Amino acid sequence: MSAKIETRVELPLSPEPSGKRKPDPCALVIFGASGDLTHRKLIPALYALEYRGLLPENFAVIGVARSENSTESWRKQMRAAVTEFGRDEMREDVWKRLAAGMHYVSTDFSSAGGETEVMKLLEQLDKERGTAGNRVYYLAVPPSAIRTVVDKLGERRRPEGWMRLIVEKPFGHDLASAKALNDDIVTHFAENEIFRIDHYLGKETVQNVLAFRFANGIFEPIWNRRYVDSVQITVAESIGIENRAGFYEQAGAIRDVVQNHMLQLLALTAMEPPADFEADAVRNEKIKVVRSIAPPDPAYIVRGQYGPGKIGGEKVPGYREEPGVAPDSNTETYVALKVFLDNWRWAGTPFYLRTGKHLSSRATTIVILFRPAPHPPFLEIAGEGLRPNVLVIHVQPDEGISIRIGAKVPGQGMTIQPVQLDFQYDRAFHVQLPEAYEKLILDAMLGDATLFTRIDEVEAQWSFVDSVVSQWEGAKPDFPNYAAGSSGPKSADAMMARDDRLWCQ
């Protein structure tokens, strides 16, 4: 009798990975403490970390903003924010531990001496809470406010302890402004102290692209132009611009999503295996991908803007009717592109990228379409059911991975039908996925920059975006060209039809 091979795998149920490291004692200073990001993401992320015992025992948070507020009322507001936006239940013991180290300072760093109170409080917290002179500065402020804050922080640098700076996206508006912003920052901070955030990289499913590709030997031989027909990366949003007209009018879909999230997904999908999982090894490989993107053919760039329509049965206005948007705005709320990578692995394989606001559904996916089987012996009889294999990485929602294969329909004859092999995070691991900001804040405290964007990558991203945007100069787009709640402009479908392809839903 042959030995039985165990093919079922016991899945770990522990919510935390083994070997977790705790950061050094430190103080986290959040600039922009009265803003949306602090309420919805940062403080709930800190609570989730405290809940799991991942914050250092000697820890403090200082919220800084110009708005008048007191520590007491800021703590109350942040508690309400955790209750509303956090992923865990409110536990008094956890909240008390976190809140005891939370302070609010109302000040304007652009005024003379505006930083004094924050610096004094930091020194006091070093003594009272043992934060040891270590600082994480989180810039959750508009880009225009960054320079002043960074200059003051740099001038007040002390020899003891370490200093790290987390800078929110967008990092610049184009290549020139990104370089200028970086020049300001590197006057005071070394590259290994700068943590440029693209929160997509903190998502479990995005990191799983690396695990999927490099922890599973079976995919490597087919992960190239010989076996892959094409790749589609979609970041579809059903929400509109949500009162962010001031920002969005200047950015549009290409700067808001393509420059950062989409190019990150493209890089992780197409990169070569890094020699190790250290920050620089991973980032070196990602940068090579972004640098290898050929300037896209203008015939394969589609831009769109939503007009009035319906989302979830509710009427919504067109982009040009949104508060704060110019009635003749030419800002794009949708982009679709075909790009090629000028490298050995992917030469000639099209990568289709698309993103848009107020689309029919919210979904971020990476779809790998494989070439058809070279000679299926039952092609004639199997007919329509014989479709190429498709691998879909569902980044959000319904996080997981599915593979479409052809299977024989039970019964007489050789009828083939596509069926799906599914891996779903929640079913496999029985845990709630952590929020991206939890991972990223913790990594910055630990000094691990793997999931942050290095300046050369930012520059490569902007070079690509600039090469697209420069093609739009002077052109008058026919906006609006898709209805809110639809799947986007018809011209994006026509672009695929020209290549004899369809968007995968």
Ligand X SMILES: NC(=O)c1ccc[n+]([C@@H]2O[C@H](COP(=O)([O-])OP(=O)(O)OC[C@H]3O[C@@H](n4cnc5c(N)ncnc54)[C@H](OP(=O)(O)O)[C@@H]3O)[C@@H](O)[C@H]2O)c1
| Residue 241 to residue 356: CA distance in whole angstroms | 11
| Residue 447 to residue 36: CA distance in whole angstroms | 26
Q: Smaller CB distance to ligand X: residue 33 or 301? A: 33
Kindly state whether residue 84 participates in binding ligand X, applying the rule CB under 6 A: no
What's the burial of 485, exposed, middle or buried (CB within 10 Å: 0-12/13-18/19+)?
buried
Binding residues for ligand X restricted to 307-336, rule: CB under 6 A:
none
Task: Please enumerate in sequence order all residues whose Cβ is within 8 A of that of 381, keeping only pairs 6 or more positions apart, or say none.
Answer: 413, 414, 415
CA angle (78 as vertex; 72, 84 as ends), nearest 5:
145
* Beta carbon of residue 204, minimum distance to ligand X (angstroms, whole number): 18
Segment contacting ligand X (CB under 6 A): 63-71, 213-221, 288-296, 363-371?
Answer: 63-71
Binder among 37, 311, 405, 446 for ligand X (CB under 6 A):
37
Q: Residue of minimal CB distance from ligand X? A: 35
Binder among 34, 77, 292, 364 for ligand X (CB under 6 A):
34
- The three-state DSSP-derived secondary structure of 127-159 is HHHCCCCCEEEEECCCHHHHHHHHHHHHHCCCC
Segment contacting ligand X (CB under 6 A): 13-21, 27-35, 299-307, 476-484?
Answer: 27-35
* Beta carbon of residue 466, minimum distance to ligand X (angstroms, whole number): 20
Contact 236, 363 (CB under 8 A): yes
| Residue 413 to residue 388: CA distance in whole angstroms | 21
What's the burial of 181, exposed, middle or buried (CB within 10 Å: 0-12/13-18/19+)?
buried
Q: Smaller CB distance to ligand X: residue 43 or 492? A: 43
Q: Smaller CB distance to ligand X: residue 116 or 505? A: 116
Question: How many CA atoms lie less than 13 Å away from 80 in the CB half-sphere?
Answer: 5
| Residue 437 to residue 176: CA distance in whole angstroms | 28
Kindly state whether residue 141 participates in binding ligand X, applying the rule CB under 6 A: yes
Kindly state whether residue 35 participates in binding ligand X, applying the rule CB under 6 A: yes
Contact 377, 389 (CB under 8 A): no
* Beta carbon of residue 237, minimum distance to ligand X (angstroms, whole number): 13
Binder among 22, 53, 57, 67 for ligand X (CB under 6 A):
67
Parallel/antiparallel/unpaired status of strands 334-339 and 314-316: unpaired
What's the burial of 438, exposed, middle or buried (CB within 10 Å: 0-12/13-18/19+)?
buried
Q: Smaller CB distance to ligand X: residue 32 or 307? A: 32
Q: Smaller CB distance to ligand X: residue 202 or 400? A: 202
Contact 54, 20 (CB under 8 A): yes
Segment contacting ligand X (CB under 6 A): 15-23, 26-34, 222-230, 302-310?
Answer: 26-34
Q: Smaller CB distance to ligand X: residue 181 or 390? A: 181
Binder among 36, 123, 220, 478 for ligand X (CB under 6 A):
36
Segment contacting ligand X (CB under 6 A): 29-37, 252-260, 312-320, 451-459?
Answer: 29-37
Kindly state whether residue 63 participates in binding ligand X, applying the rule CB under 6 A: no
Binding pattern to ligand X, positions 389-418, x when CB under 6 A? ------------------------------
| Residue 254 to residue 201: CA distance in whole angstroms | 18
Contact 48, 82 (CB under 8 A): no
Segment contacting ligand X (CB under 6 A): 89-97, 138-146, 211-219, 480-488?
Answer: 138-146
Kindly state whether residue 480 participates in binding ligand X, applying the rule CB under 6 A: no
* Beta carbon of residue 221, minimum distance to ligand X (angstroms, whole number): 38
| Residue 364 to residue 268: CA distance in whole angstroms | 14
Active-site annotation holder among 188, 261, 358, 394: 261
Q: Nearest CA to 129 among 175, 86, 98, 91?
A: 98
Kindly state whether residue 50 participates in binding ligand X, applying the rule CB under 6 A: no
Kindly state whether residue 382 participates in binding ligand X, applying the rule CB under 6 A: no
Phi then psi for residue 476, to 5 deg, are -105, 105
* Beta carbon of residue 164, minimum distance to ligand X (angstroms, whole number): 17
Kindly state whether residue 169 participates in binding ligand X, applying the rule CB under 6 A: yes
For the stretch 27-51, what's the b/e string if a residue is b when 16 or more beta carbons lie within 10 angstroms of its beta carbon?
bbbbbbbbbebbbbbbbbbbbbbbb
* Beta carbon of residue 144, minimum distance to ligand X (angstroms, whole number): 6
Kindly state whether residue 286 participates in binding ligand X, applying the rule CB under 6 A: no
Q: Smaller CB distance to ligand X: residue 140 or 279? A: 140
* Beta carbon of residue 31, minimum distance to ligand X (angstroms, whole number): 6
Q: Nearest CA to 492 among 236, 295, 242?
A: 236
Kindly state whether residue 298 participates in binding ligand X, applying the rule CB under 6 A: no
Annotation marks residue 261 as catalytic:
yes
* Beta carbon of residue 233, minimum distance to ligand X (angstroms, whole number): 19
- Residue 354's CB is within 10 A of a number of other CB atoms, namely 28
Q: What is the DSSP string of 354-403?
A: EEESSBSS-EEEEEEEEPPPS--TTHHHHGGG----EEEEEEESS-EEEE
Kindly state whether residue 65 participates in binding ligand X, applying the rule CB under 6 A: yes
Kindly state whether residue 260 participates in binding ligand X, applying the rule CB under 6 A: no
* Beta carbon of residue 106, minimum distance to ligand X (angstroms, whole number): 8
* Beta carbon of residue 145, minimum distance to ligand X (angstroms, whole number): 3
**Footprint of ligand X (CB under 6 A):** 32-37, 41, 65-67, 140-143, 145, 168-170
Give me the active site residues, please.
261
